[in-house]
């Protein structure tokens, strides 16, 4: 790398567009989507999809709701040709889906493409040639602008000439000035205007003008300026569908497309999860769900992203990264304590407000359930996590509704273990640690039997408990206005009482005959005022409470 004065690379020119309007626009409707998974996506794979994999992907793309699907480059190879024939001959193309095929503006390739399309009900023939100064100079050996424009015109003319013989197929035309993103905008518009003329594009039968960000050379605002300027330059705007096709070299494929839509484009080409040449094509899933979380229906069925991802990963042999927006394994997961607390509060509030209330959960732009992600992924516990997250998992997965004041105590014990282990704790491990440290503890004091009887007149209750304490079995007795109170008195009668009962609450876990009660008790140790929490679990609510006292007592003896 160079440092200081960098001479190897230069800045990229901006667009002179003083009255640009796109920055004030918002995206308020879904564009026409065109998936290029089976062409741009496929051509970038180390092992391209075979015909059956392409068929499976094609069918999934139809199920997702794509109405335009670029299925390949039939003149480029026998496999590509055979795949086009497979879709047509097996009758796999739904009536409301148009297949699109790519071809360079070269005669023999265009003719072969038309052969591949025989028998199709409708199709888009997508012709392209490269127009940028760099491509003109390097790839086309200093070709002039006129020569480049002529290539486009000749290609379009040949397509028009071949249309009558293909009358059984409803064919529309798409033209791409490839490398648009580094072409002079007025030249791109000039070439496109010439192609429009040749094709006789009208408002009723518009041409698709696809303006690729073939390589990302600049920031997305410049691409948006180019789109707005291009639209202002073409004379017959209504006779064209303006299409975007962005790649991701600078990591801003999504941003370029979004700003391009704000600049007036009608259509978007891209792939699932951004597969495609180099850093990939635009990720359609992200743009669609970005719209969705602003309340705009993207008109794509993305409700089950995990199953879409499974087919995608199997067919392409690519993997969706863990941080991939909306689809990655970790994108709805919070490890950090403060995030977990905020999410938990948001989810609790949502439960109170009801499922139809607008989504307002901190740190989560959409409800994970809308894309088929489960809530289990939201809060995961490691050393960065806090008490709220642990309480959330114990509640969600095991039904323990810990009193808020108990959270710090449980969080401290489990957080310390997570810290020591230096790895994530599973929900099962969290439960095991909670039970081992707080529930039905039996050492040094173990409850063996517990009976109560009313103590004659008044409200008093008498209890008789059989306990093991420091290796000795004893029967202890006490009276109080409830079982817990009576039991505390019984302990006191032995001279072991060194605490004051502070807090008690209980709730049922589960329903019907299988239900148990969970009780939580806090005591404060008389010697130093320190608080200890314990939990009791039993089918009897009374016994759950007594076991909670024993657990808290035992904790106070250990620490």
Interface contacts to ligand KIV, rule CB under 6 A:
40, 102, 128, 176, 178, 210, 212, 214, 245, 247
Backbone angles phi, psi at 316, to 5 degrees: -95, -15
Binding partner at 309 among Zn ion, ligand KIV, none, C-beta below 5 to 8 Å by kind: none
CB 101 within 8 A of CB 70: yes
CB burial of residue 533 (10 Å; 0-12, 13-18, 19+): buried
CB 397 within 8 A of CB 380: no
Q: Binders of Zn ion among 412-451, rule CB under 5 A?
A: none
Q: 483 vs 459, 498, 522, 535, CA distance in Å?
A: 11, 19, 16, 16
Cβ-based nearer residue to ligand KIV, 269 or 538? 269
Among candidates 559, 267, 300, which has minimal Cα distance to 413?
A: 559
Cβ-based nearer residue to Zn ion, 40 or 225? 40
Cβ-based nearer residue to ligand KIV, 176 or 384? 176
Q: Cβ 227 to ligand KIV, closest distance in Å?
A: 14
Dist CA 537 CA 549 (whole Å): 11
Cβ-based nearer residue to ligand KIV, 244 or 463? 244
Residue 283 found at the interface with Zn ion (CB under 5 A): no
Dist CA 401 CA 404 (whole Å): 9
Strand-strand pairing, 445-454 and 32-35: unpaired
Q: Binding pattern to Zn ion, positions 478-507, x when CB under 5 A?
A: ------------------------------
Dist CA 317 CA 309 (whole Å): 11
Binding partner at 176 among ligand KIV, Zn ion, none, C-beta below 5 to 8 Å by kind: ligand KIV
- Whether the bond into 444 is cis, omega within 30 of 0: yes
Q: Cβ 70 to ligand KIV, closest distance in Å?
A: 9
Q: Cβ 273 to ligand KIV, closest distance in Å?
A: 17
Q: Cβ 178 to ligand KIV, closest distance in Å?
A: 4
Count of CA atoms in the C-beta half-sphere (13 A) of 431: 12
Helix (H, G, I), strand (E, B) or coil at 503: strand
List CB contacts of 358: < 8 A, sequence separation 6 or more: none
Binding partner at 128 among Zn ion, ligand KIV, none, C-beta below 5 to 8 Å by kind: ligand KIV
Binding partner at 172 among Zn ion, ligand KIV, none, C-beta below 5 to 8 Å by kind: none
Cβ-based nearer residue to ligand KIV, 215 or 467? 215
Q: Cβ 321 to ligand KIV, closest distance in Å?
A: 22
Three-state SS string over 109-168 comes to HHHHHHHHCCCCCEEEEEEEEECCHHHHHHHCCCCCHHHHHHHHHHHHHHHHHHCHHHCC
Q: Tell me which DSSP letter residue 516 carries.
A: E
CB burial of residue 62 (10 Å; 0-12, 13-18, 19+): middle
Binding partner at 123 among Zn ion, ligand KIV, none, C-beta below 5 to 8 Å by kind: none
Q: Binders of Zn ion among 23-82, rule CB under 5 A?
A: 40
Q: Cβ 259 to ligand KIV, closest distance in Å?
A: 17
Tokens 């130093």, residue located: 528
Dist CA 412 CA 337 (whole Å): 12
Binding partner at 538 among Zn ion, ligand KIV, none, C-beta below 5 to 8 Å by kind: none
CB 74 within 8 A of CB 110: no
Q: Cβ 370 to Zn ion, closest distance in Å?
A: 29
Cβ-based nearer residue to ligand KIV, 188 or 476? 188
Binding partner at 216 among Zn ion, ligand KIV, none, C-beta below 5 to 8 Å by kind: none
Cβ-based nearer residue to Zn ion, 247 or 380? 247
List CB contacts of 45: < 8 A, sequence separation 6 or more: 275, 316, 317, 318
Binding partner at 182 among Zn ion, ligand KIV, none, C-beta below 5 to 8 Å by kind: none
Q: Cβ 130 to ligand KIV, closest distance in Å?
A: 8
Binding partner at 554 among Zn ion, ligand KIV, none, C-beta below 5 to 8 Å by kind: none
CB burial of residue 181 (10 Å; 0-12, 13-18, 19+): buried
Cβ-based nearer residue to ligand KIV, 280 or 480? 280
Q: Cβ 302 to Zn ion, closest distance in Å?
A: 22
Q: Cβ 297 to ligand KIV, closest distance in Å?
A: 27
Binding partner at 262 among ligand KIV, Zn ion, none, C-beta below 5 to 8 Å by kind: none
Tokens 């480029």, residue located: 76
Cβ-based nearer residue to Zn ion, 40 or 53? 40
Which residues of the shown chain bind Zn ion in the complex (CB under 5 A)?
40
């Amino acid at each position: 790398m160079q440092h200081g004065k960098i001479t190897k690379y230069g800045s990229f020119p901006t667009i002179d567009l003083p009255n640009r309007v796109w920055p004030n626009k918002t995206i308020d409707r879904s564009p026409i989507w065109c998936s290029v998974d089976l062409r741009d996506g496929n051509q970038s794979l180390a092992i391209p999809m075979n015909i059956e994999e392409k068929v499976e992907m094609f069918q999934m793309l139809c199920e997702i709701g794509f109405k335009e699907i670029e299925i390949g480059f039939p003149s480029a190879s026998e496999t590509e040709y055979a795949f086009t024939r497979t879709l047509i001959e097996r009758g796999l193309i739904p009536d409301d889906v148009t297949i699109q095929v790519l071809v360079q503006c070269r005669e023999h390739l265009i003719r072969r493409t038309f052969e591949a399309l025989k028998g199709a009900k409708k199709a888009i023939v997508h012709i392209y040639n490269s127009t940028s100064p760099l491509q003109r100079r390097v790839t086309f050996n200093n070709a002039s602008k006129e020569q480049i424009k002529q290539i486009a015109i000749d290609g379009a003319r040949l397509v028009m000439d071949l249309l009558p013989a293909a009358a059984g197929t409803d064919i529309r035309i798409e033209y791409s000035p490839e490398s648009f993103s580094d072409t002079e905008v007025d030249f791109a518009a000039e070439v496109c205007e010439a192609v429009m003329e040749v094709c006789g594009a009208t408002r009723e039968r518009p041409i698709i003008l696809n303006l690729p960000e073939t390589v990302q050379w600049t920031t997305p605002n410049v691409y948006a300026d180019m789109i707005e300027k291009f639209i202002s330059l073409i004379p017959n705007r209504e006779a064209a569908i303006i299409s975007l096709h962005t790649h991701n070299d600078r990591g801003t494929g999504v941003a370029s497309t979004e700003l391009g839509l704000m600049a007036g484009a009608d259509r978007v080409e891209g792939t699932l999860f951004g597969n495609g040449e180099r850093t990939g094509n635009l990720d359609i899933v992200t743009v669609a769900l970005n719209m969705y979380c602003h309340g705009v229906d993207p008109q794509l069925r993305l409700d089950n992203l995990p199953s879409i991802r499974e087919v995608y990963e199997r067919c392409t042999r690519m993997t969706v990264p863990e941080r991939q927006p909306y689809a990655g394994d970790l994108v709805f997961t919070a490890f950090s304590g403060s995030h977990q607390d905020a999410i938990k509060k948001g989810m609790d509030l949502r439960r109170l407000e009801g499922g139809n209330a607008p989504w307002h959960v901190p740190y989560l732009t959409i409800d994970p359930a809308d894309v088929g992600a489960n809530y289990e992924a939201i809060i995961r516990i490691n050393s960065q996590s806090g008490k709220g997250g642990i309480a959330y998992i114990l509640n969600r997965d095991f039904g323990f509704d810990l009193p808020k004041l108990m959270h710090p105590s449980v969080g401290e014990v489990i957080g310390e273990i997570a810290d020591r282990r230096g790895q994530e704790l599973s929900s099962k491990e969290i439960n095991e640690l909670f039970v081992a440290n707080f529930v039905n503890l039996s050492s040094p004091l173990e409850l063996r039997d517990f009976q109560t009887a009313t103590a004659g007149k008044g409200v008093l209750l008498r209890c008789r408990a059989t306990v093991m304490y420091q290796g000795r079995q004893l029967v202890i007795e006490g009276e109080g206005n409830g079982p817990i109170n009576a039991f505390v008195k019984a302990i006191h009668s032995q001279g072991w009482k060194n605490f004051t009962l502070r807090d008690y609450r209980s709730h049922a876990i589960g329903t019907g005959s299988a239900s148990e009660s969970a009780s939580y008790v806090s005591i404060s140790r008389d010697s130093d005022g320190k608080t200890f929490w314990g939990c009791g679990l039993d089918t009897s609510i009374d016994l759950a409470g007594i076991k909670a006292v024993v657990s808290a007592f035992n904790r106070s003896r250990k620490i």
